[in-house]
C-alpha cells in the first residue's frame, strides 16, 4: 500500500478501503471463506454443539514484551473457546484504527494475529475496519469473535466445581499484566519479563485426550487468579482454599507487585488456565500439563471445599490464613 499511515479515507468504503482490504487484510488472511468478500461469510459446521464468544482488545501500548495486540486478540478469543473445551474453528476480526496509525504497525499486529490462527487452523472468516479521527481512539482497537466445536456430552463451567475437587494452575501468574505495565508510559520500569500470551487450546486438547475429569476451566485474564476463583466459588456455591506456597509466581512479578502495591493474584494472565477436576485425576492432570511447553510450571495449588460458600481463602506462607477478595477493578492500566 502506498500510504504509510492510516487515513480517514481508509474507513470510507471507497477505493482507499478496497486497497486496505486487498493489500493489507488479504495479505494476512488468505482463507477462501474470507476472500469471497460477501457481506457475510458462509460457514459449514460438522457439529451442533458449538461455543461462541466475543472480546475487544484495547491494550496500551499495543506492542509489549512478549506480544502485541494482534496476538492477544487471537489468543484471547481462542482461549475463551478453549475454556469450554471447544476446538476453535472460525474467527472474525473487527478493527477500529485511529487516523495516523502506522500501516507498518498494522501489518505487524495482523501478522501476529494471523500467525496464531494459521498455526491452529482457525479460519478468519469475516472482518471489518473503521477509522476514527486522530485523538479519538487509542491507535488500534481490535474485536474478535470466535466459534468453536464442543465435545458432545461434556458439561463444564464455573458452576460445576464440587467439594473435594482439586484446583490446578498451568503456570506462573501475573506475567502478562506486569510485562505490559513495565512499558507503559509514565510507569516504565526495566524487567526481563515477557507477557505469557499464548493460545491455550493445545493444552486443553491434551487434557481432553487424556480423559481428565474436567469440571471447570477458566483463563484468569482481567482480575487475575483471584477473580477467576471468586467466580467459581460464587457460581458453584462452594468455598475454595488455595496455598500460597504452591502458587507459581516469578520473582520479577513478586518484586514489581511489591513496588506497585499490587497483589499477584489480581494481575492479568493471557496464557494460563485454572483447571478444577476430580481429585483422583489431579496428579495425572498435573503430569499432562507439565508435559506441554505451556504448562511446565503447572501446580496443584488448592482444593474446593463445602464452605464458606462463595469465599476463596489462602493459607499464607507464614502459616496464617486470609481471604482472597474479588478485585475491585482498581485504577489499573489497560492491559488487554
Partner 1 sequence: MNPSTAELLQRIRGLADAIGRPIRLMEVCGTHTMAISRSGLRALLPPNLRLLSGPGCPVCVTPVDYVDKAIALARRPDVVVMTFGDMLRVPGSESSLEQARAEGARVRVVYSPLDAFRAARSGSDQVVFLGVGFETTAPTVAWTVREARRLGVSNYSVLCAHKLIPPAMRALLDSGECRLDGFLCPGHVSVMIGTKAYEPIAHDYRLPCVVAGFEVLDILRGVARLLEMRCAGLAAAENAYERGATSEGNPAGLALLDEVFTAETTVWRGLGALLASGLALRPAFDAHDAEKRFAPLNVPPPREPKGCRCGDVLRGACLPDECPLFGRTCAPENPVGACMVSSEGSCAAHFRYEWVPRETTA
CB 273 within 8 A of CB 197: no
Q: CB 225 → partner 1: shortest distance, Å? A: 15
The binder of partner 1 chosen from 239, 248, 264, 271 (CB under 8 A): 239
To the nearest whole angstrom, how small is the minimum distance from the Cβ of residue 24 to partner 1?
34
For position 307 contacting partner 1 by CB under 8 A, the verdict is yes
Q: Which residues in 255-274 contact partner 1 (CB under 8 A)?
A: 260-261, 263
Binding of residue 186 to partner 1 (CB under 8 A): yes
Distance CA 169, CA 295 (A): 8
The yes or no reply on residue 164 touching partner 1 (CB under 8 A) is: no
Which residues have C-beta within 8 Å of that of residue 58, sequence separation ≥ 6? 138, 141, 334, 336
Q: Report the site for partner 1 in 59-88 (rule: CB under 8 A).
A: none
Check residue 322 for interaction with partner 1 (CB under 8 A).
Answer: yes
Cβ(168)–Cβ(299) under 8 Å?
Answer: yes
**What does the buried/exposed string (b/e) look like for 282-312 if buried means 16 or more CB atoms within 10 Å of the residue's CB?**
beebbebbeebebbebbbbbbbbbeeeebbb
Nearer to partner 1 among residue 89 and residue 222 (C-beta): 222
Least distance (Å) from partner 1 to the CB of residue 187?
A: 6
Q: Are 187 and 179 in contact (CB under 8 A)?
A: no
229 close to 268: Cβ distance less than 8 angstroms: no
Name the residue nearer to partner 1 (CB basis): 26 or 234. Answer: 234
Q: Identify which range of 7-15, 135-143, 285-293, 313-321 contacts partner 1 by CB under 8 A.
A: 313-321
Nearer to partner 1, 85 or 301 (CB): 301
Beta bridge partners of 335: none
- Please state, in angstroms and rounded to a whole number, the distance separating the CA atoms of residues 249 and 271: 14
Nearer to partner 1, 14 or 308 (CB): 308
Cell 488500534: give the residue.
Answer: 140
Considering only 19-27, 78-86, 106-114, 322-330, which stretch makes contact with partner 1 by CB under 8 A? Answer: 322-330
Shortest separation between residue 330's beta carbon and partner 1, angstroms: 7
Report the residue from 323, 334, 335, 336 that binds partner 1 according to the rule CB under 8 A. Answer: 323
Q: Is residue 331 at the binding interface for partner 1, with CB under 8 A as the rule?
A: yes
Q: Minimum distance from CB of 178 to partner 1 (Å)?
A: 14
Is position 49 an interface residue for partner 1 (rule: CB under 8 A)? no
Whether the Cβ atoms of residue 29 and residue 127 lie closer than 8 Å to each other: yes
Residues that bind partner 1 (CB under 8 A): 186-187, 239, 260-261, 263, 306-311, 315-323, 325, 328, 330-331
Amino acid at each position: 500500500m502506498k500510504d504509510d499511515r492510516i487515513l480517514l479515507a481508509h474507513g470510507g468504503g471507497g477505493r482507499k478501503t478496497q486497497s486496505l482490504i486487498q493489500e493489507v487484510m488479504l495479505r494476512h488472511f488468505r482463507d477462501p471463506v474470507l476472500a469471497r468478500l460477501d457481506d457475510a461469510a458462509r460457514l459449514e459446521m460438522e457439529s451442533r454443539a458449538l461455543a461462541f464468544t466475543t472480546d475487544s482488545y484495547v491494550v496500551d501500548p499495543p506492542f509489549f514484551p512478549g506480544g502485541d495486540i494482534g496476538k492477544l486478540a487471537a489468543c484471547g478469543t481462542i482461549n475463551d473457546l478453549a475454556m469450554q473445551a471447544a476446538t476453535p474453528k472460525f474467527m472474525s476480526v473487527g478493527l477500529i484504527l485511529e487516523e495516523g496509525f502506522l500501516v507498518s504497525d498494522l501489518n505487524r499486529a495482523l501478522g501476529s494475529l494471523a500467525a496464531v490462527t494459521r498455526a491452529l487452523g482457525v479460519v478468519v472468516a469475516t472482518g471489518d475496519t473503521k477509522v476514527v479521527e486522530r485523538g479519538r481512539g487509542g491507535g488500534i482497537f481490535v474485536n474478535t469473535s470466535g466459534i468453536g466445536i464442543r465435545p458432545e456430552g461434556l458439561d463444564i463451567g464455573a458452576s460445576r466445581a464440587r467439594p473435594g475437587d482439586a484446583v490446578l494452575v498451568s503456570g506462573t501468574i501475573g506475567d502478562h499484566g506486569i510485562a505490559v505495565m513495565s512499558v507503559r508510559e509514565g510507569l516504565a520500569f526495566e524487567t526481563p519479563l515477557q507477557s505469557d500470551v499464548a493460545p491455550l487450546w493445545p493444552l486443553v486438547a491434551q487434557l481432553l485426550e487424556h480423559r481428565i475429569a474436567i469440571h471447570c476451566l477458566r483463563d484468569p485474564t482481567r482480575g487475575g487468579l483471584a477473580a477467576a476463583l471468586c467466580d467459581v466459588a460464587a457460581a458453584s456455591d462452594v468455598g475454595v482454599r488455595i496455598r500460597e506456597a504452591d502458587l507459581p509466581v516469578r520473582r520479577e512479578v513478586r518484586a514489581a507487585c511489591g513496588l506497585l502495591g499490587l497483589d499477584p493474584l489480581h494481575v492479568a494472565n493471557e496464557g494460563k488456565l485454572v483447571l478444577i477436576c476430580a481429585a483422583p485425576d489431579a496428579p495425572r492432570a498435573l503430569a499432562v500439563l507439565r508435559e506441554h511447553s505451556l504448562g511446565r510450571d503447572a501446580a496443584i495449588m488448592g482444593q474446593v471445599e463445602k464452605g464458606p460458600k462463595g469465599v476463596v481463602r489462602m493459607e499464607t506462607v507464614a502459616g496464617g490464613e486470609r481471604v482472597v477478595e474479588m478485585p475491585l477493578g482498581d485504577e489499573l492500566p489497560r492491559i488487554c
